[in-house]
């Protein structure tokens, strides 16, 4: 089993995690072609449309 030589510093830990927060801050948004409604990617709109088809 691998054993670390020394404890990683707070700076090293922070540099490694710096890219994780970017994914949380930026939500991938898309515009439905049929209703022109803004929604999350791969999710249906609030009116129930997905890829121009009514689901609900």
pLDDT tens digits for range 1-55: 789 899 999 999 999 888 877 666 667 888 888 889 988 888 888 989 988 888 8
Strand ranges for 1-56 from DSSP E:
29-31, 38-40, 49-50, 53-54
Q: Which residue has the tokens 């990617």?
A: 41
How many C-alpha atoms does 25 have within 13 Å on its Cβ side? 5
Instruction: Let me know: does 16 contact 5? Beta carbons within 8 Å.
Output: no
pLDDT the model gives residue 11: 95
């Amino acid at each position: 089993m691998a054993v670390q030589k020394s404890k990683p510093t707070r700076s090293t830990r922070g540099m490694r995690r710096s890219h994780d927060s970017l994914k949380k801050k930026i939500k991938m948004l898309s515009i439905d072609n049929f209703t022109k409604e803004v929604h999350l990617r791969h999710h249906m709109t609030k009116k129930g449309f997905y890829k121009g088809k009514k689901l609900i």
